[in-house]
Amino acid sequence: MQLGLKYLVDSDGKKRLTIPDDRRAFAVSYIRDGGARSPAEIEAIVQQGHDELLAALDGLSEPQAAHKPAADDWSVLELMAHVVTTKRIIATLAASLGEGKLPPGFTAELEEESRQDGVTVARFDALAAARDAADAAHRDQLRFIRGLDDSTNVDVRFKHFVFGALNCREWAAFQRVHDADHTPQIGAIRASSGFPAHRARSN
């Protein structure tokens, strides 16, 4: 799921995230359709994205996970900090929306690009900790998805700065899109210049 996301620098020097119109339309359609599926089907697509993300980490050493291709680029650990932060936010947001309300502190200001793009609260010094945190946040999301029923509110929405106002089911489906967007970035880091080689074990 290549979204073609790119940053452009405005005349005032601020970076702005852009996405081709056709890719945005595809993603919005995927999110809307995904959110309308049964709980089991939503769980399946979210699980697939999570599994592919963690598989991309397989075999990485700690020096490799900490490698930054350039000063302004994320390392794998930094990327995972953002991914885990987002998983936690979506789990909390979807659960509250499903109850017909917003989580405390989720004001209109948080719907702006400057407050959503690249949001990162988590920090990790080791890859195992990042994996464990991702799994824990994923379990929270699945708990919400498995509890979906006819009483779940689908009218209250919160805006994603690229994909528009989403209800709780659609935010759950969006997680698949988010994981799919960042998984190839791990491969790009692994293929970057200066990426550390595995050290051979001494006997």
Residue 43: CB partners within 8 Å, gap ≥ 6? Answer: 142, 145, 146
User: Quick one: average pLDDT of 33-55?
Assistant: 98
Res 96: pLDDT:
98
Residue 24: CB partners within 8 Å, gap ≥ 6? Answer: 3, 162, 163
Residue 202 domain flag: no
- Bridge partners, 165 (sequence order): 159
Residue 99 domain flag: yes
Structural domains counted in the chain: 1
User: Quick one: average pLDDT of 167-187?
Assistant: 96
Residue 195 domain flag: no
User: In the predicted model, what is the mean pLDDT of the chain?
Assistant: 91
Enter the tokens of residue 97. 């929306």
Residue 107 domain flag: yes
Residue 91 domain flag: yes
Could you read off the pLDDT of 71-123 as tens digits, one per residue?
989 999 999 999 999 999 999 999 999 999 999 999 988 888 777 777 889 99
Distance between first and last Cα of the chain: 44
Residue 111 domain flag: yes
Given a cut of 60, whether residue 172 has pLDDT beyond it is: yes
56: domain CATH number? 1.20.120.450
Half-sphere exposure in the Cβ direction for 56 (13 Å, CA): 23
Residue 199 domain flag: no
Q: Could you list the residue range(s) of the whole structural domain that residue 178 is in?
A: 6-190
Residue 200 domain flag: no
Could you read off the pLDDT of 13-27 as tens digits, one per residue?
666 666 788 888 989
Burial degree of 52 (CB within 10 A; 0-12, 13-18, 19+): middle
